[in-house]
Amino acid sequence: MVGETKDKRFVILGAGPAGMGAAWELSKRGAKHVVVLDKNDRVGGLARTEKFQGYFFDVGPHRMMTKYAEVEDLWKKMLGKDLLVRPRITRIYYRGRFFQYPLKMVNALYNLGLIQSMLAGASFLKAQLVWRNKEPKNFAEWTTKTFGNRISKAFFRDYTKKVWGIEADEVGVDWAGQRIKPIKILDVFGELVKSMFTMEQVKNIGAQFFYPRYGAGMFYEKMQQELEVLGVKFLLNSKIIAVRCEESCIRAVTVETAAGREDVEGDVFISSIPSNLLVASMTPPASKNVLELTKAMRFRAHIVVNMIIKRKDLFEDSWFYIQSTDVRIARIGNYGQFSSDMLADPNTSAIGIEFFCYEGDEFWNKKDDELIELALREMTELGLVRHEEFGGAYVIRSDDAYPTYYMGYREKFAALRAFLEQFQNLRLIGRAGMYKYKDQDHAMYTGMLTVRNLFGEHHDVWELGEEQEFFEEKTVSQTPKK
Ligand SMILES: Cc1cc2nc3c(=O)[nH]c(=O)nc-3n(C[C@H](O)[C@H](O)[C@H](O)COP(=O)(O)OP(=O)(O)OC[C@H]3O[C@@H](n4cnc5c(N)ncnc54)[C@H](O)[C@@H]3O)c2cc1C
């Protein structure tokens, strides 16, 4: 494909970070015919930013952190002084108390009270012995080995059920290494000594992240502006409803717009839309067996109630994890702490109240008004806002938000991937295209590297980001770059 690659007609399915990364790389390489399709009215996908009553809201706040130097360089180049460096202040709310995040043993024990903390400490020490030479097989075992049975149960297993909708022993260990900091026994003693001298603070303010002044989507909108100048065509509000296949190639996709249906033909198709949807949209239809394979992809849905609160500086945290099972809320993002420019009125606050469910279940089908009412009621129960402070809200639903790493998903998804790889002019990229629970930087980089491969380079895009490396606590300058 190398020689005349840039003369081919490229069709990019999805204008999220992955699709935008692919479009960027194509235009950099001089591709002349690039079309990006998306059903949304704006670019950015799950990392887009919407405007409501003059306030800017993400689909759940999207901080920017990366170990890919090229991605960070692009953020900086595109946003300049509008790329803010923000401190991360995050806490876990459990049984009416706030715990440090990422979880620190000493802070957790301190907050649990004397008896509970002695029991938790003993269970942690026991786990160090019992699990010394054993490998955990699932997420429940991983957290038990790392924190002991008591902390695992209190802080991880219930929350895992809330977020993923399945028990912790049905979740694979794959994502834990990057998301949860392992604890070493020597560190615990180090923490203990430190806390004796400093009276350990509850908040963790060591870490930092990047964030655009007007929300994560600002970056993708800037990219769009530059790409349009370079001739890239964006067809937004265009829902892909059919994928026309001929032998082992894709010839066109059919999109539905307000004006009707349209076929978009191409030579190369780069897809970041959910791969199960891609297969289900194929015409002629895929075989029954292949359609059965699409069940390997199980997404957890996300609902956010974005709310304005008539009180300044509601809390200092960038976000809270709500561990408690008494309420349905799982997380609360505080946009003023990401960028004060997102607030239409500096005397108010803007928060994103997040819930997890499955598309089509009872929670998903609740009316927007019910969801707003529930969010407000639970926020008052948590003691975080007062009813009369409500200043307006709206709801965003995302059906394919979280690829679930249930036990055995890898093998099952591999069969679907193998089917799709038979199409010579199709490439899968991004979170839902590749079924990877990864962040926006990863998604964008898969788009960029996939295009480089089309131009003759050799990157193993599927292995990208598979290394287990925890960088949750790093400052932006400390994050190791590759
Ligand atoms: C609540 C939440 C919080 C997150 N927080 C962070 C964070 O703090 N930091 C971070 O880096 N990452 C975060 N992420 C992850 C980040 O959003 C994703 O990694 C990233 O958006 C994936 O990019 P993508 O392009 O692969 O997919 P998407 O962003 O999902 O983009 C896919 C695009 O395809 C389009 N599409 C789908 N179906 C069709 C169709 N039939 N027709 C046309 N278009 C279609 C969609 O509209 C979408 O625009 C978060 C995700 C969620 C859900």
Q: Say if residue 120 is in the same domain as residue 186.
A: yes
In this structure, is residue 266 part of a structural domain? Answer: yes
* pLDDT band (50, 70, 90) for residue 198: very low
Q: Say if residue 194 is in the same domain as residue 114.
A: yes
Q: Say if residue 135 is in the same domain as residue 154.
A: yes
Provide DSSP, 282-340.
EESPPPHHHHHHGGG--EEEEEEEEEEESSS---S-SEEEE--TTSS--EEEEHHHH-G
Beginning with the edge strand found earlier in the chain, give each strand of the sheet holding 249-257 in spatial order.
Answer: 260-265, 249-257, 239-246, 282-283
Regarding the beta carbon of 474 and ligand 1, being less than 6 Å apart is answered no
The pLDDT score that the predictor gives to residue 199 is 40
In this structure, is residue 93 part of a structural domain? Answer: no
Residue of the CA atom closest to atom 15 of ligand 1: 439
Regarding the beta carbon of 14 and ligand 1, being less than 6 Å apart is answered yes
Regarding the beta carbon of 440 and ligand 1, being less than 6 Å apart is answered yes
In this structure, is residue 398 part of a structural domain? Answer: yes
Q: Say if residue 255 is in the same domain as residue 384.
A: no
Q: Say if residue 329 is in the same domain as residue 425.
A: no
Regarding the beta carbon of 120 and ligand 1, being less than 6 Å apart is answered no
Q: Say if residue 291 is in the same domain as residue 320.
A: no
In this structure, is residue 233 part of a structural domain? Answer: yes
Is residue 273 within 8 A of residue 299, CB to CB? The reply is no
The pLDDT score that the predictor gives to residue 473 is 54
Q: Say if residue 128 is in the same domain as residue 254.
A: no
**For residue 451, what is the domain's CATH number?**
3.50.50.60
* pLDDT band (50, 70, 90) for residue 204: very low
Q: Say if residue 319 is in the same domain as residue 255.
A: no
Point out the least confidently predicted range of 76-80, 93-97, 162-166, 452-456.
93-97
Single out the residue of 12, 18, 2 nearest to residue 33, CA to CA. Answer: 12
- Which residue has better confidence, 158 or 435? 435
In this structure, is residue 51 part of a structural domain? Answer: no
In this structure, is residue 17 part of a structural domain? Answer: yes
The pLDDT score that the predictor gives to residue 447 is 98
Regarding the beta carbon of 396 and ligand 1, being less than 6 Å apart is answered no
Average pLDDT over residues 300-329: 93
Supply 191's token pair. 């923490």
Q: Say if residue 382 is in the same domain as residue 416.
A: no
Place of tokens 């002044």: 213
**What's the pLDDT tens digit per position in 20-73?**
999 999 999 999 999 999 999 999 999 999 999 999 999 999 999 999 999 999
Is residue 173 within 8 A of residue 144, CB to CB? The reply is no
Average pLDDT over residues 355-380: 97
Residue of the CA atom closest to atom 34 of ligand 1: 14
**What's the pLDDT tens digit per position in 223-243?**
999 999 999 999 999 999 999
Final residue in a domain of this structure, among 403, 432, 452? 403
Regarding the beta carbon of 430 and ligand 1, being less than 6 Å apart is answered yes
In this structure, is residue 418 part of a structural domain? Answer: yes
Average pLDDT over residues 264-270: 98
Q: Say if residue 303 is in the same domain as residue 399.
A: yes
Instruction: Tell me the CA–centroid distance for residue 185 and ligand 1, in Å.
Output: 38
Regarding the beta carbon of 431 and ligand 1, being less than 6 Å apart is answered yes
- Dmax over CA atoms of the chain, in Å, equals 71
Number of structural domains in the chain: 3
Question: Could you tell me the pTM of the whole model?
Answer: 0.90
In this structure, is residue 478 part of a structural domain? Answer: no
| DSSP reduced 3-state for 374 | helix
Q: Say if residue 410 is in the same domain as residue 391.
A: no
The pLDDT score that the predictor gives to residue 150 is 82
Q: Say if residue 286 is in the same domain as residue 304.
A: no
Residue of the CA atom closest to atom 10 of ligand 1: 439
The pLDDT score that the predictor gives to residue 63 is 96
Question: What residue numbers bound the domain in which 377 lies?
Answer: 299-403
Instruction: Determine the angle formed by the axes of helices 217-229 and 69-79, rounding to 10 degrees.
Output: 80
Integer Cα distance of 48 and 42 in angstroms = 7
**For residue 384, what is the domain's CATH number?**
3.90.660.20
The pLDDT score that the predictor gives to residue 180 is 62
As beta bridge partners, residue 269 has 11, 426
Residue of the CA atom closest to atom 37 of ligand 1: 273
Percent of the chain with pLDDT over 90: 67
